[in-house]
C-alpha cells in the first residue's frame, strides 16, 4: 500500500471503457470503447508523472490525446498487443456477417486539429449541425441498408439499395430527446 498514491483521472471519453490492456512497455493502454450500436479500440498514452488532463468540468483542454485503431461503423472488441507493441489484434463484429479477427498498426502519433483560418468563428450550433450517421444495418439478402442520421435537432432514417443513391424515408424535425435505435431492414 505505501507504493500506491491516490487515484487520478487519466482521461474522459465518450461511451464507456472496457477490457483495458497495457502495451508491452506499459506506456500505453488499449481498451474497448463501446458506444451503443458500435464501438472502437482506443489507445491512450500514459503520461509520465502526473496526468496532463484537468479534472472534469474545469473547462481546460486535455493535452493527451486518444487515438483509435481503424475506426469504422462496427463493434470492435478484445484488444491484444503484439509482443513489440507495434500492432493490435482485435475482433470486429458487423451485424449479419461472421466475426473477423483483425490486426492493425498501433496508432503511433497524436492527432492534432488543423490550425484555424483567419476569420473563422466557432459556434456550438455548428458542431451540432454536423451530421452523424449511425451503424448501417443490411437487409437479409445483403442488397440494401438502412441507417440513422442525426443533424443538429433533426433525426432521420435513410435507405439505400446496392448501386443506388441513399434516400431519406423518415425524418423527425426538432429535438424531442428521444433517440432512434434498432433499425432493421426486412
pLDDT tier at 23, thresholds 50, 70, 90: very high
C-alpha–C-alpha distance, residues 67 and 112, integer Å: 11
Lowest mean pLDDT among 79-83, 124-128, 181-185: 124-128
Cell 451503424 -> residue: 135
Stated pTM of the model: 0.57
Q: Grid coordinates representing 167?
A: 434516400
The 3-class secondary structure across 46-71, one letter per residue, is CCCCCCCCCCCCCCCCCCCCEEECCC
Q: Which pairs count as long-range contacts for 144-152, CB under 8 Å and 24+ apart, including other chains? A: 144/185, 145/185, 146/183, 146/184, 146/185, 147/183, 148/180, 148/181, 148/183, 150/179, 152/125, 152/128
The residue length of the chain stands at 186
Average pLDDT value for residue range 119-128: 66
Amino acid at each position: 500500500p505505501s507504493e500506491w498514491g491516490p487515484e487520478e483521472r487519466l482521461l474522459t471519453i465518450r461511451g464507456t471503457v472496457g477490457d483495458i490492456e497495457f502495451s508491452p512497455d506499459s506506456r500505453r493502454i488499449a481498451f474497448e470503447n463501446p458506444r451503443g450500436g458500435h464501438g472502437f479500440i482506443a489507445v491512450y498514452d500514459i503520461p509520465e508523472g502526473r496526468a496532463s488532463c484537468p479534472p472534469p468540468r474545469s473547462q481546460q483542454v486535455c493535452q493527451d490525446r486518444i487515438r483509435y485503431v481503424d475506426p469504422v461503423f462496427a463493434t470492435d472488441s478484445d484488444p491484444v498487443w503484439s509482443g513489440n507493441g507495434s500492432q493490435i489484434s482485435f475482433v470486429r463484429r458487423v451485424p449479419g456477417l461472421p466475426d473477423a479477427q483483425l490486426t492493425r498498426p498501433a496508432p503511433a502519433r497524436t492527432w492534432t486539429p488543423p490550425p484555424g483560418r483567419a476569420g473563422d468563428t466557432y459556434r456550438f450550433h455548428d458542431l451540432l449541425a454536423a451530421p452523424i450517421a449511425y451503424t448501417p444495418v443490411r437487409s437479409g439478402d445483403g442488397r440494401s441498408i438502412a441507417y440513422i442520421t442525426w443533424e443538429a435537432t433533426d433525426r432521420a432514417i435513410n435507405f439505400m439499395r446496392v448501386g443506388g443513391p441513399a434516400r431519406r424515408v423518415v425524418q423527425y424535425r426538432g429535438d424531442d430527446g428521444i433517440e432512434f435505435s434498432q433499425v432493421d431492414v426486412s
